[in-house]
Chain A
Amino acid sequence: ILNVEQSPQSLHVQEGDSTNFTCSFPSSNFYALHWYRWETAKSPEALFVMTLNGDEKKKGRISATLNTKEGYSYLYIKGSQPEDSATYLCGLTMNSGYSTLTFGKGTMLLVSP
């Protein structure tokens, strides 16, 4: 069983705070790591797909880093806004990439005005 761990389970910050979450995974047979944002009553939305060790991606105020050798990825949100409130999921594919995504349980972020 592939174990993808996310921490913290939930987080409550104030508007303007910067925050970060962690996704940990087994480093062997790594192919790709995905980050998704899942807002209540909406579909999960892809944020990043990362494949290379040391990769860093950015989308607006959100960025992510990847360390495949030690098996972790960080997601950062700079200057959190209430609209960032969502569950952030990471998912892992192994080997060829035609395997399916195995997801962690997510980090639930609440940003208060």
Chain B
Amino acid sequence: GAGVSQSPSNKVTEKGKDVELRCDPISGHTALYWYRQSLGQGLEFLIYFQGNSAPDKSGLPSDRFSAERTGGSVSTLTIQRTQQEDSAVYLCASSTDRGRGYTFGSGTRLTVV
């Protein structure tokens, strides 16, 4: 597609439930990133996929968070046993090479009640 697509745009879930967030990057972009912004905080790095290399998971806040990228394209971020502190806007971005800016999706606003 023309841009980075994320779904759902909004998700309200009960504490303890699992959620899956989807990101469809720009075709041909080898790098894919997940960030989140919690209320009053800056953009926090979560995970980075680059081509066929092992992902950089150093930003994942706990083992309840995991992500995969299938076929070098679509990525899914999964949060298990959601907690209220997981409430945030989750942003996905992709890029073609290290010298260029990221193209962000419009985000998924996750609210854990």
B-binding residues in A (CB < 8 A):
31-32, 34, 36, 41-49, 51, 89, 91, 93, 96-98, 100-106
Contact = CB atoms under 8 A, between A and B. Distances in A.
Given A89-B43, A100-B45, A100-B56, A43 B101 contact: no
Nearest 5 pairs between A and B by C-beta? A46-B101, A97-B98, A105-B42, A103-B43, A43-B104
Given A32-B99, A43-B103, A43-B105, 19 more contacts: A36-B101, A43-B106, A43-B107, A44-B91, A44-B93, A44-B102, A44-B104, A46-B102, A46-B103, A47-B101, A49-B99, A51-B99, A93-B98, A96-B98, A97-B99, A100-B48, A101-B45, A102-B45, A104-B42
Nearest to A103: B43
Given A43-B105, A105-B42, A49 B48 contact: no
Interface string B1-16: 0011000000000000
